[in-house]
Structure 1
Protein backbone atom coordinates (compact mmCIF):
# COMPACT_ATOMS: atom_id res chain seq x y z
CA UNK A 1 0.00 0.00 0.00
CA UNK A 2 1.39 3.44 -0.83
CA UNK A 3 2.57 5.41 2.17
CA UNK A 4 0.11 7.86 3.65
CA UNK A 5 -3.01 6.14 2.28
CA UNK A 6 -5.66 5.05 4.72
CA UNK A 7 -7.47 1.76 4.24
CA UNK A 8 -10.72 2.32 2.31
CA UNK A 9 -9.39 5.61 0.98
CA UNK A 10 -10.01 6.57 -2.63
CA UNK A 11 -6.50 5.25 -3.35
CA UNK A 12 -7.44 1.78 -2.14
CA UNK A 13 -10.60 1.97 -4.26
CA UNK A 14 -8.50 2.95 -7.27
CA UNK A 15 -6.15 0.02 -6.71
CA UNK A 16 -9.05 -2.42 -6.40
CA UNK A 17 -10.65 -0.98 -9.53
CA UNK A 18 -7.40 -1.40 -11.44
CA UNK A 19 -7.09 -5.00 -10.22
CA UNK A 20 -10.68 -5.84 -11.14
CA UNK A 21 -10.46 -4.31 -14.61
CA UNK A 22 -7.03 -5.81 -15.29
CA UNK A 23 -8.32 -9.24 -14.28
CA UNK A 24 -11.23 -8.96 -16.68
CA UNK A 25 -9.12 -7.65 -19.57
CA UNK A 26 -6.34 -10.22 -19.08
CA UNK A 27 -8.89 -13.03 -18.98
CA UNK A 28 -10.63 -11.83 -22.13
CA UNK A 29 -7.67 -10.73 -24.25
CA UNK A 30 -4.65 -12.37 -22.65
CA UNK A 31 -1.55 -10.86 -21.16
CA UNK A 32 0.13 -9.77 -24.40
CA UNK A 33 -2.89 -8.06 -25.94
CA UNK A 34 -3.79 -6.14 -22.78
CA UNK A 35 -1.95 -2.85 -22.38
CA UNK A 36 -1.64 -0.65 -19.32
CA UNK A 37 -3.35 2.07 -21.34
CA UNK A 38 -6.35 -0.27 -21.85
CA UNK A 39 -6.56 -0.92 -18.12
CA UNK A 40 -6.38 2.71 -17.03
CA UNK A 41 -8.76 3.84 -19.77
CA UNK A 42 -11.38 1.26 -18.71
CA UNK A 43 -10.88 2.33 -15.07
CA UNK A 44 -11.09 6.01 -16.03
CA UNK A 45 -7.77 6.60 -14.25
CA UNK A 46 -4.32 7.77 -15.35
CA UNK A 47 -1.15 5.82 -15.99
CA UNK A 48 0.63 7.60 -13.11
CA UNK A 49 -2.14 6.26 -10.84
CA UNK A 50 -1.42 2.76 -12.15
CA UNK A 51 2.27 3.15 -11.27
CA UNK A 52 1.41 4.21 -7.72
CA UNK A 53 0.26 0.65 -7.08
CA UNK A 54 2.05 -1.56 -9.60
CA UNK A 55 5.61 -1.63 -10.83
CA UNK A 56 4.52 -2.68 -14.32
CA UNK A 57 2.00 -4.85 -16.17
CA UNK A 58 3.95 -8.01 -15.47
CA UNK A 59 4.00 -7.44 -11.71
CA UNK A 60 0.23 -6.91 -11.73
CA UNK A 61 -0.29 -10.09 -13.76
CA UNK A 62 2.04 -12.06 -11.44
CA UNK A 63 0.07 -10.79 -8.42
CA UNK A 64 -3.15 -12.08 -9.96
CA UNK A 65 -1.62 -15.47 -10.72
CA UNK A 66 -0.25 -15.69 -7.19
CA UNK A 67 -3.65 -14.81 -5.73
CA UNK A 68 -5.29 -17.65 -7.69
CA UNK A 69 -2.47 -20.09 -6.99
CA UNK A 70 -2.58 -19.47 -3.23
CA UNK A 71 -6.34 -20.02 -3.05
CA UNK A 72 -6.12 -23.14 -5.20
CA UNK A 73 -3.27 -24.66 -3.18
CA UNK A 74 -5.06 -23.88 0.11
CA UNK A 75 -8.00 -25.93 -1.14
CA UNK A 76 -5.66 -28.79 -2.09
CA UNK A 77 -3.98 -28.69 1.32
CA UNK A 78 -7.39 -28.88 3.04
CA UNK A 79 -8.34 -31.82 0.81
CA UNK A 80 -5.16 -33.71 1.75
CA UNK A 81 -5.60 -32.94 5.45
CA UNK A 82 -9.26 -33.95 5.58
CA UNK A 83 -8.63 -37.11 3.55
CA UNK A 84 -6.91 -38.74 6.51
CA UNK A 85 -10.26 -39.97 7.70
CA UNK A 86 -13.80 -40.19 6.48
CA UNK A 87 -15.55 -41.01 3.27
CA UNK A 88 -13.49 -40.08 0.20
CA UNK A 89 -16.52 -39.58 -2.04
CA UNK A 90 -18.20 -37.18 0.38
CA UNK A 91 -14.91 -35.37 0.86
CA UNK A 92 -14.37 -34.99 -2.89
CA UNK A 93 -17.95 -33.79 -3.34
CA UNK A 94 -17.44 -31.13 -0.67
CA UNK A 95 -14.14 -29.98 -2.09
CA UNK A 96 -15.36 -29.92 -5.68
CA UNK A 97 -18.30 -27.82 -4.54
CA UNK A 98 -15.95 -25.37 -2.81
CA UNK A 99 -13.68 -25.30 -5.85
CA UNK A 100 -16.57 -24.67 -8.26
CA UNK A 101 -17.94 -21.98 -5.95
CA UNK A 102 -14.55 -20.25 -6.00
CA UNK A 103 -14.36 -20.57 -9.80
CA UNK A 104 -17.91 -19.22 -10.21
CA UNK A 105 -17.21 -16.28 -7.88
CA UNK A 106 -13.92 -15.48 -9.61
CA UNK A 107 -14.40 -16.39 -13.29
CA UNK A 108 -11.88 -13.91 -14.70
CA UNK A 109 -9.21 -14.81 -12.16
CA UNK A 110 -9.88 -18.52 -12.78
CA UNK A 111 -9.48 -18.05 -16.53
CA UNK A 112 -6.08 -16.48 -15.88
CA UNK A 113 -4.85 -18.87 -13.17
CA UNK A 114 -6.37 -22.17 -14.29
CA UNK A 115 -6.21 -21.74 -18.08
CA UNK A 116 -3.87 -19.00 -19.31
CA UNK A 117 -0.92 -18.75 -16.93
CA UNK A 118 2.18 -20.83 -17.51
CA UNK A 119 1.77 -22.11 -13.96
CA UNK A 120 -1.70 -23.48 -14.70
CA UNK A 121 -0.33 -26.80 -15.95
CA UNK A 122 1.73 -27.14 -12.79
CA UNK A 123 -1.37 -26.51 -10.64
CA UNK A 124 -3.41 -29.07 -12.56
CA UNK A 125 -0.56 -31.58 -12.24
CA UNK A 126 -0.48 -31.03 -8.46
CA UNK A 127 -4.24 -31.46 -8.30
CA UNK A 128 -3.96 -34.72 -10.29
CA UNK A 129 -1.17 -35.95 -8.01
CA UNK A 130 -3.23 -35.33 -4.86
CA UNK A 131 -6.22 -37.15 -6.38
CA UNK A 132 -3.98 -39.99 -7.55
CA UNK A 133 -2.54 -40.45 -4.06
CA UNK A 134 -5.98 -40.39 -2.45
CA UNK A 135 -7.33 -42.96 -4.89
CA UNK A 136 -4.26 -45.21 -4.64
CA UNK A 137 -4.75 -45.43 -0.86
CA UNK A 138 -8.30 -46.77 -1.25
CA UNK A 139 -8.71 -50.46 -2.05
CA UNK A 140 -12.13 -49.90 -3.62
CA UNK A 141 -10.46 -48.05 -6.51
CA UNK A 142 -7.67 -50.59 -7.07
CA UNK A 143 -9.16 -51.82 -10.37
CA UNK A 144 -8.31 -48.47 -12.01
CA UNK A 145 -4.98 -46.86 -12.73
CA UNK A 146 -5.20 -43.95 -10.26
CA UNK A 147 -3.02 -41.75 -12.46
CA UNK A 148 -5.34 -42.03 -15.47
CA UNK A 149 -8.38 -41.64 -13.28
CA UNK A 150 -6.99 -38.52 -11.55
CA UNK A 151 -5.84 -36.82 -14.75
CA UNK A 152 -9.14 -37.49 -16.50
CA UNK A 153 -11.04 -36.12 -13.49
CA UNK A 154 -8.98 -32.91 -13.54
CA UNK A 155 -9.51 -32.66 -17.30
CA UNK A 156 -13.25 -33.03 -16.81
CA UNK A 157 -13.22 -30.33 -14.13
CA UNK A 158 -11.30 -28.06 -16.48
CA UNK A 159 -13.76 -28.62 -19.34
CA UNK A 160 -17.05 -28.45 -17.42
CA UNK A 161 -15.92 -25.26 -15.71
CA UNK A 162 -15.69 -23.57 -19.09
CA UNK A 163 -18.72 -25.17 -20.71
CA UNK A 164 -21.21 -25.42 -17.85
CA UNK A 165 -20.13 -23.35 -14.86
CA UNK A 166 -19.01 -20.14 -16.55
CA UNK A 167 -22.07 -20.21 -18.79
CA UNK A 168 -24.21 -20.60 -15.63
CA UNK A 169 -25.82 -23.72 -17.08
CA UNK A 170 -24.96 -25.54 -13.85
CA UNK A 171 -24.56 -24.34 -10.28
CA UNK A 172 -21.39 -25.31 -8.34
CA UNK A 173 -22.99 -27.92 -6.07
CA UNK A 174 -24.99 -29.43 -8.93
CA UNK A 175 -21.86 -29.70 -11.06
CA UNK A 176 -19.89 -31.29 -8.21
CA UNK A 177 -22.67 -33.85 -7.67
CA UNK A 178 -22.83 -34.75 -11.34
CA UNK A 179 -19.04 -35.17 -11.58
CA UNK A 180 -19.08 -37.45 -8.53
CA UNK A 181 -21.93 -39.48 -10.02
CA UNK A 182 -20.06 -39.88 -13.32
CA UNK A 183 -16.69 -40.81 -11.81
CA UNK A 184 -17.91 -42.81 -8.82
CA UNK A 185 -21.23 -44.36 -9.95
CA UNK A 186 -21.12 -47.40 -7.65
CA UNK A 187 -20.47 -45.39 -4.53
CA UNK A 188 -22.04 -42.02 -5.27
CA UNK A 189 -25.03 -41.04 -3.22
CA UNK A 190 -25.12 -37.40 -4.31
CA UNK A 191 -28.28 -36.23 -6.01
CA UNK A 192 -28.01 -33.59 -8.70
Structure 2
Protein backbone atom coordinates (compact mmCIF):
# COMPACT_ATOMS: atom_id res chain seq x y z
CA UNK A 1 0.00 0.00 0.00
CA UNK A 2 1.35 3.43 -0.89
CA UNK A 3 2.48 5.93 1.73
CA UNK A 4 -0.02 5.33 4.49
CA UNK A 5 -3.22 5.45 2.42
CA UNK A 6 -6.14 3.50 3.79
CA UNK A 7 -7.65 0.61 1.86
CA UNK A 8 -10.60 1.79 -0.27
CA UNK A 9 -9.29 5.33 -0.15
CA UNK A 10 -9.18 7.55 -3.20
CA UNK A 11 -5.52 6.55 -3.56
CA UNK A 12 -6.38 2.85 -3.85
CA UNK A 13 -8.89 3.73 -6.55
CA UNK A 14 -6.17 5.68 -8.37
CA UNK A 15 -3.79 2.73 -8.20
CA UNK A 16 -6.46 0.40 -9.55
CA UNK A 17 -7.27 2.87 -12.32
CA UNK A 18 -3.59 3.09 -13.28
CA UNK A 19 -3.33 -0.71 -13.41
CA UNK A 20 -6.51 -1.14 -15.47
CA UNK A 21 -5.41 1.48 -18.00
CA UNK A 22 -1.90 0.04 -18.14
CA UNK A 23 -3.33 -3.41 -18.91
CA UNK A 24 -5.35 -1.94 -21.78
CA UNK A 25 -2.42 0.03 -23.20
CA UNK A 26 0.22 -2.69 -22.79
CA UNK A 27 -2.05 -5.25 -24.45
CA UNK A 28 -2.85 -2.90 -27.33
CA UNK A 29 0.51 -1.22 -27.99
CA UNK A 30 3.02 -3.42 -26.18
CA UNK A 31 5.41 -2.63 -23.38
CA UNK A 32 7.91 -0.61 -25.38
CA UNK A 33 5.36 1.57 -27.17
CA UNK A 34 3.45 2.43 -23.98
CA UNK A 35 4.77 5.37 -22.00
CA UNK A 36 4.00 6.37 -18.42
CA UNK A 37 2.51 9.58 -19.82
CA UNK A 38 0.09 7.44 -21.90
CA UNK A 39 -0.99 5.50 -18.81
CA UNK A 40 -1.61 8.56 -16.63
CA UNK A 41 -3.37 10.41 -19.46
CA UNK A 42 -5.64 7.43 -20.08
CA UNK A 43 -6.41 7.23 -16.34
CA UNK A 44 -6.90 11.03 -16.09
CA UNK A 45 -4.24 11.18 -13.39
CA UNK A 46 -0.83 12.78 -13.03
CA UNK A 47 2.68 11.37 -13.25
CA UNK A 48 3.35 12.15 -9.55
CA UNK A 49 0.31 9.97 -8.75
CA UNK A 50 1.82 7.18 -10.85
CA UNK A 51 5.07 7.38 -8.85
CA UNK A 52 3.18 7.11 -5.56
CA UNK A 53 2.40 3.51 -6.49
CA UNK A 54 5.03 2.38 -8.98
CA UNK A 55 8.73 3.20 -9.15
CA UNK A 56 8.77 2.63 -12.91
CA UNK A 57 6.85 1.33 -15.89
CA UNK A 58 8.89 -1.87 -15.64
CA UNK A 59 7.76 -2.50 -12.06
CA UNK A 60 4.12 -1.94 -13.03
CA UNK A 61 4.51 -4.32 -15.98
CA UNK A 62 6.17 -6.93 -13.76
CA UNK A 63 3.39 -6.56 -11.18
CA UNK A 64 0.80 -7.26 -13.88
CA UNK A 65 2.71 -10.34 -15.00
CA UNK A 66 2.98 -11.62 -11.43
CA UNK A 67 -0.75 -11.11 -11.07
CA UNK A 68 -1.42 -13.14 -14.24
CA UNK A 69 0.93 -15.93 -13.15
CA UNK A 70 -0.46 -16.03 -9.60
CA UNK A 71 -4.08 -16.07 -10.72
CA UNK A 72 -3.39 -18.83 -13.23
CA UNK A 73 -1.52 -20.84 -10.58
CA UNK A 74 -4.42 -20.30 -8.19
CA UNK A 75 -6.86 -21.76 -10.73
CA UNK A 76 -4.93 -25.03 -10.79
CA UNK A 77 -4.22 -25.20 -7.07
CA UNK A 78 -7.84 -24.46 -6.12
CA UNK A 79 -9.28 -26.86 -8.67
CA UNK A 80 -11.00 -29.84 -7.09
CA UNK A 81 -10.06 -32.91 -9.13
CA UNK A 82 -12.30 -35.25 -7.14
CA UNK A 83 -14.42 -37.26 -9.50
CA UNK A 84 -12.46 -36.12 -12.56
CA UNK A 85 -10.17 -38.53 -14.32
CA UNK A 86 -8.07 -38.76 -17.43
CA UNK A 87 -9.18 -36.81 -20.45
CA UNK A 88 -12.14 -35.31 -18.56
CA UNK A 89 -9.67 -33.80 -16.10
CA UNK A 90 -7.55 -32.36 -18.90
CA UNK A 91 -10.60 -30.99 -20.70
CA UNK A 92 -11.97 -29.38 -17.55
CA UNK A 93 -8.55 -27.91 -16.68
CA UNK A 94 -8.30 -26.39 -20.16
CA UNK A 95 -11.85 -25.03 -19.87
CA UNK A 96 -11.05 -23.35 -16.54
CA UNK A 97 -7.93 -21.78 -18.02
CA UNK A 98 -9.77 -20.65 -21.16
CA UNK A 99 -12.52 -19.10 -19.05
CA UNK A 100 -9.88 -17.12 -17.17
CA UNK A 101 -8.37 -16.00 -20.48
CA UNK A 102 -11.78 -14.86 -21.77
CA UNK A 103 -12.50 -12.99 -18.52
CA UNK A 104 -9.07 -11.31 -18.66
CA UNK A 105 -8.25 -10.93 -22.36
CA UNK A 106 -5.91 -7.96 -22.05
CA UNK A 107 -4.04 -9.40 -19.09
CA UNK A 108 -3.76 -12.66 -21.04
CA UNK A 109 -2.23 -10.83 -24.00
CA UNK A 110 0.38 -9.40 -21.66
CA UNK A 111 1.09 -12.41 -19.46
CA UNK A 112 0.81 -15.16 -22.06
CA UNK A 113 2.29 -13.42 -25.10
CA UNK A 114 3.96 -10.06 -24.46
CA UNK A 115 6.08 -10.55 -21.36
CA UNK A 116 9.43 -12.26 -21.01
CA UNK A 117 7.88 -14.00 -18.00
CA UNK A 118 5.38 -15.73 -20.30
CA UNK A 119 7.96 -18.49 -20.76
CA UNK A 120 7.76 -19.26 -17.03
CA UNK A 121 3.95 -19.33 -17.20
CA UNK A 122 4.03 -21.79 -20.10
CA UNK A 123 6.61 -23.94 -18.30
CA UNK A 124 4.32 -24.03 -15.26
CA UNK A 125 1.42 -25.14 -17.49
CA UNK A 126 3.59 -27.81 -19.12
CA UNK A 127 4.54 -29.10 -15.63
CA UNK A 128 0.89 -29.20 -14.57
CA UNK A 129 0.01 -31.12 -17.72
CA UNK A 130 2.88 -33.56 -17.32
CA UNK A 131 1.68 -34.26 -13.79
CA UNK A 132 -1.90 -34.88 -14.99
CA UNK A 133 -0.72 -37.06 -17.88
CA UNK A 134 1.61 -39.12 -15.70
CA UNK A 135 -0.96 -39.65 -12.96
CA UNK A 136 -4.19 -39.84 -14.93
CA UNK A 137 -3.24 -41.23 -18.35
CA UNK A 138 -0.04 -43.15 -17.65
CA UNK A 139 -1.43 -46.32 -19.26
CA UNK A 140 -2.97 -44.59 -22.27
CA UNK A 141 -2.16 -45.57 -25.84
CA UNK A 142 -1.01 -42.03 -26.55
CA UNK A 143 1.64 -42.05 -23.81
CA UNK A 144 2.85 -45.47 -24.92
CA UNK A 145 3.75 -43.91 -28.27
CA UNK A 146 4.71 -40.32 -27.42
CA UNK A 147 7.03 -38.75 -24.85
CA UNK A 148 4.98 -37.07 -22.10
CA UNK A 149 7.00 -33.85 -22.19
CA UNK A 150 6.66 -33.53 -25.97
CA UNK A 151 2.92 -34.14 -25.68
CA UNK A 152 2.54 -31.54 -22.90
CA UNK A 153 4.63 -28.95 -24.74
CA UNK A 154 2.70 -29.56 -27.98
CA UNK A 155 -0.57 -29.18 -26.14
CA UNK A 156 0.51 -25.87 -24.58
CA UNK A 157 1.75 -24.72 -28.00
CA UNK A 158 -1.71 -25.44 -29.37
CA UNK A 159 -3.29 -23.63 -26.43
CA UNK A 160 -1.07 -20.62 -27.10
CA UNK A 161 -1.95 -20.41 -30.79
CA UNK A 162 -5.65 -21.26 -30.50
CA UNK A 163 -6.18 -18.83 -27.62
CA UNK A 164 -4.96 -16.04 -29.87
CA UNK A 165 -6.74 -17.11 -33.06
CA UNK A 166 -9.98 -18.64 -31.76
CA UNK A 167 -10.62 -17.87 -28.11
CA UNK A 168 -9.76 -14.17 -27.80
CA UNK A 169 -11.42 -13.52 -31.16
CA UNK A 170 -14.53 -15.27 -29.77
CA UNK A 171 -14.72 -17.72 -32.68
CA UNK A 172 -14.85 -20.60 -30.19
CA UNK A 173 -16.12 -20.90 -26.62
CA UNK A 174 -13.80 -22.06 -23.83
CA UNK A 175 -15.69 -25.34 -23.51
CA UNK A 176 -15.68 -26.07 -27.24
CA UNK A 177 -12.00 -25.23 -27.65
CA UNK A 178 -11.04 -27.49 -24.72
CA UNK A 179 -13.14 -30.29 -26.16
CA UNK A 180 -11.64 -29.96 -29.64
CA UNK A 181 -8.06 -29.88 -28.34
CA UNK A 182 -8.72 -33.06 -26.36
CA UNK A 183 -10.26 -34.68 -29.42
CA UNK A 184 -7.17 -33.85 -31.48
CA UNK A 185 -4.63 -35.08 -28.93
CA UNK A 186 -6.57 -37.96 -27.41
CA UNK A 187 -8.79 -39.21 -30.25
CA UNK A 188 -7.67 -42.82 -29.80
CA UNK A 189 -8.39 -42.71 -26.07
CA UNK A 190 -11.79 -41.12 -26.63
CA UNK A 191 -12.76 -43.72 -29.23
CA UNK A 192 -11.86 -46.50 -26.78
CA UNK A 193 -13.98 -44.90 -24.04
CA UNK A 194 -16.95 -44.49 -26.40
CA UNK A 195 -16.76 -48.11 -27.64
Q: Same fold, TM exceeding 0.5?
A: yes
* Pairing 1:154–2:156 present: yes
- Report if aligned partners of 1:131, 1:150 keep a CA contact under 8 Å in 2: yes
| TM-score under structure 1 length normalisation | 0.87
Match of 1:97 among 87, 95, 98: 95
Q: What SS is found at the alignment partner of 1:142?
A: helix
- Report if aligned partners of 1:65, 1:113 keep a CA contact under 8 Å in 2: yes
Instruction: State the superposition RMSD in angstroms.
Output: 2.1
> What is the correspondence of 1:7-86 to structure 2 with a 5 Å cutoff?
7-78=7-78, 82=81, 86=84
| Closer, same or farther: CA 173–86 of 1 in aligned 2, 3 Å | closer
**Per-residue deviation, residues 31-56 of structure 1 (Å, max 9, x unmatched):** 12111001011111111111122122
**Structure 1 consecutive aligned stretches of length 4 or more whose deviation exceeds 4 Å:** none
* Counterpart-to-counterpart distance in 1, 2:58 and 2:40: 15
* Counterpart-to-counterpart distance in 1, 2:123 and 2:15: 33
What 5-or-longer segments of structure 2 have no aligned partner? Answer: none
How many residue pairs get aligned? The number is 187
* Counterpart-to-counterpart distance in 2, 1:29 and 1:90: 38
- How far the C-alpha of 1:168 sits from its partner, in A, is 0.9
- How far the C-alpha of 1:71 sits from its partner, in A, is 1.4
| TM-score under structure 2 length normalisation | 0.86
- How far the C-alpha of 1:100 sits from its partner, in A, is 0.4
**Per-residue deviation, residues 117-164 of structure 1 (Å, max 9, x unmatched):** 112112212322332343244111322221221111000000110001
What 5-or-longer segments of structure 1 have no aligned partner? Answer: none
